[in-house]
Amino acid sequence: MKRIIIAAGLAVAACSGPEATNDTVAGNGVLAAGPVTNSASLAAAELPAGLAPVIEAAVPGMKVSEAERKEREGRVYYDVEGTKPDGSEIELDIIEEKGTFRVVEIQRDLAWKDAPLIAQAAAKAKPDAFAPARVIESTQTDGSVIYELFKPGEPKEPAMEVRVKDGKAEVLTERWEH
């Protein structure tokens, strides 16, 4: 991974073309608007009872600070934010399927300079590359890591996603499912 040298700076991205669908990239790596998500904030005490053991198993000692219940494309998720015992911030994305809960992502914010060089190189190689204002590292249950890149001034959803798995990086052409 360290063999790749990244040139300083990234060009500011242009918008994706009009032929892009809600979920696909127009060829430049910049994602179109994602699906509609309905969400509601929850206090830790309002979380379903079966969620606490799942949270504890995923991140022992996690202190929940806030949560949201989200519905998107027929799926129900709980985004649970808090801190690990060392004080670092973390978020769990947990899906509810037939009354059971399963962690699908473990997320944390990080500086773009701290993302793997192969992720940076993959994003930079796209014609409409941009310097992300925010980066979320999202560890998946399949062993891959998704880097969600947010454009400056567009904080609601990532404009680009880079998947790193088995030492390879690719800019996704469709939004990651979770």
Task: Write the DSSP assignment of 111-161 as a string of letters.
Answer: -GGGS-HHHHHHHHTSTT----SEEEEEEETTS-EEEEEE-TT--SS-SEE
Q: How far is 118 from 137, CA to CA, in rounded Å?
A: 14
pLDDT tens sequence for the chain (178 residues): 333 332 333 333 333 333 333 344 445 566 555 555 667 788 888 899 899 999 999 999 999 999 999 887 778 999 999 999 999 999 999 999 988 999 999 999 999 999 999 999 999 999 889 999 999 999 998 999 999 999 999 988 899 999 999 999 999 988 777 6
pTM over 0.95? The answer is no
Alpha helices by DSSP H, the chain = 51-58, 117-124
Q: Name, in order, each residue with C-beta under 8 angstroms of 97's C-beta and a sequence gap of 6 or more.
A: none
